[in-house]
Amino acid sequence: MGIKWACRHLFTPHYSNNHRARLLHSSSVLGYLALFVIVQFFLNFVHSINPNILGYATDVSVIELLTETNNQRVEHGLAPLELNEKLSKAAHAKAEHMFANNYWAHTAPDGSTPWVFILGEDYEYLVAGENLAKNFDHSTGVVDAWMNSPSHRENLLKNDYSDIGFAIVDGVLQNEETTLVVQMFGTEKGAKISQIDVSVAGASQVSEASPEVLVNEASSVKKRPLFDLFSVQRRVSLVMLAFLIMVLLIDGYFVFRHRTVRIAGRNWAHVIFLISALLIVYFARSGAII
């Protein structure tokens, strides 16, 4: 028994494997599931003891968020926004409040609205707004997600705003390591605006609140782990799904070629299902907005 026989036994229907590739037997499939669970457990374990090696890597910065936001506004014939320190501090305070009180919403469980944080930084606004995002890999992805949401897009392209602030803050939210991005918009009293309005992303409000901004350099420059946990987990899933699809295709080819009749086993149905799962995993993104 050489390599050729072993490959035939593992990958193709043969008398030695009851005319079904050995890699597709129930015991083998259970082995794949066990291996998948073990690998996921190992990755999470490494992440828990050393997140600098295997962690959640994000390449989101205030400068890029500001640039992408203003690019969108200019493309739509609007004036670019000025980065405002007060709004950035308010955004940072909102992010810290979300972590401290474990919520993912514009309004806190204690009733605090985005405007509370803006006014807390002595930013007296005529109009204000807020967009929230979490766990995006890149700044472009954050702004694209906001632009693809009607309410967030309206907030981002509102002509009444003159200032903007951002905050990028890491923490644990609802038992998950999270990178929050808070975007706050506003126009201070005394500034000329075409209309007084409120929108939360959206959240916005007139005369009682303002949007969110990114604060201080500590939140704009982030240390990246050596490997991104989400990317590694996704690649492991893709490799395992691709392997199963390959084995099913090889087995199905030989069944068709030799006209083998099998009572059980629908290779093509399994292939379609696994390809669908593979596409879902491939296009999966970790980010969310509100």
Q: Give pLDDT tens digits for 198-209.
A: 445 555 454 333
Q: Give pLDDT tens digits for 20-54.
A: 888 888 899 999 999 999 999 999 888 888 877 87
Residue 2: predicted pLDDT: 77
Answer whether 0.85 is exceeded by the pTM: no
**Which CATH number is associated with domain 58-188?**
3.40.33.10
Write out the two tokens for 271: 């292939």
Other CB atoms within a 10 A radius of the CB of residue 134 amount to: 22
Q: Give pLDDT tens digits for 133-175.
A: 998 988 999 999 999 999 999 999 999 999 999 999 988 899 8
C-alpha dist (Å) from residue 152 to 156, 169, 203, 270: 6, 20, 8, 40
Q: How many helices (H) and strands (E) does the chain have?
A: 9, 9
Asked if residue 97 lies in contact with residue 112, where contact means CB atoms within 8 angstroms, the answer is yes
Residue 261: predicted pLDDT: 67
pLDDT band for 125, please (50, 70, 90 cuts): very high
Average pLDDT, the chain: 84
The alpha carbon of 195 is separated from its chain's Cα centroid by a whole number of angstroms, namely 34
Distance separating alpha carbons of residues 91 and 184, to the nearest angstrom: 6
Alpha-helical runs (H) found in the chain: 3-11, 26-49, 62-75, 85-101, 114-120, 139-147, 150-156, 229-257, 267-282
Asked if residue 155 lies in contact with residue 211, where contact means CB atoms within 8 angstroms, the answer is yes
Region of poorest pLDDT, from 94-103, 207-216, 218-227: 207-216
pLDDT band for 263, please (50, 70, 90 cuts): low
| 90-104 mean pLDDT | 97
With a cut of 90, say whether residue 217 has pLDDT above it. Answer: no
